[in-house]
Amino acid sequence: MTEKRELTEADVITDEVRAWIGRSTEPMLLPEEVAAVDVRRYVEATGDRNPLWLDDAAARAAGYRARILPPMMVVGLSWRLGDTGRLQHHVPLPEIYSDTRNAGLEIEWLEAVYVGDRLALQHRLTDIVARSGRRGLGVYITRETEYRRVADDRPVVRVRQTTVRLPRAKDVR
């Protein structure tokens, strides 16, 4: 019977994997503008009835030109693109690295997003490192995503997310 040996960092973080650091997608246009009905559905789903998202007068009184989108809703709009451009899922790791978990998220809000805005986003891989843990050697992949308002090409949100890809539980000794 052949004994399984644990993978080392050199086995997992190869030159081919390192070549993915710095790789980015082209800017990806969300399929449509953000509509008032999108905000209404978000509010119904979350129960977050903040007047800034529901009342133009309240938003103007707070210094905005009209009601704004809930900030977390903006980040959730990326799912309209499906898996398109999610580079971290395509890094060529050994097949056993199929268990993906969130390992950190930082969001930088730069400008308000309004109903009627159309956004584009772009992903870029900024780091890939291996660290040992209870589940063996994990591969931590950091991706930055920038959301831009199409009308004026201004950045509105930057997201820095780290995911960890782990060996399947049955493959860990």
Please give the Cα distance from 167 to 135 (Å, whole number). Answer: 7
Please tell me the pTM assigned to this model.
Answer: 0.86
- Kindly state the helix (H) or strand (E) to which residue 148 belongs, with its residue range: strand 136-149
Residue type, 43: V
* Tens-digit pLDDT profile for residues 68-118: 999 999 988 888 887 777 788 889 999 999 999 999 999 999 999 999 999
Go through the domains of the chain in sequence order and give each one's CATH number: 9-33+70-171 (3.10.129.10)
Q: Where are the beta strands (DSSP E) in 14-113?
A: 28-29, 99-109
C-alpha distance from residue 158 to each of 43, 52, 164 (Å): 23, 21, 20
* Tens-digit pLDDT profile for residues 30-51: 999 999 999 999 999 999 999 9
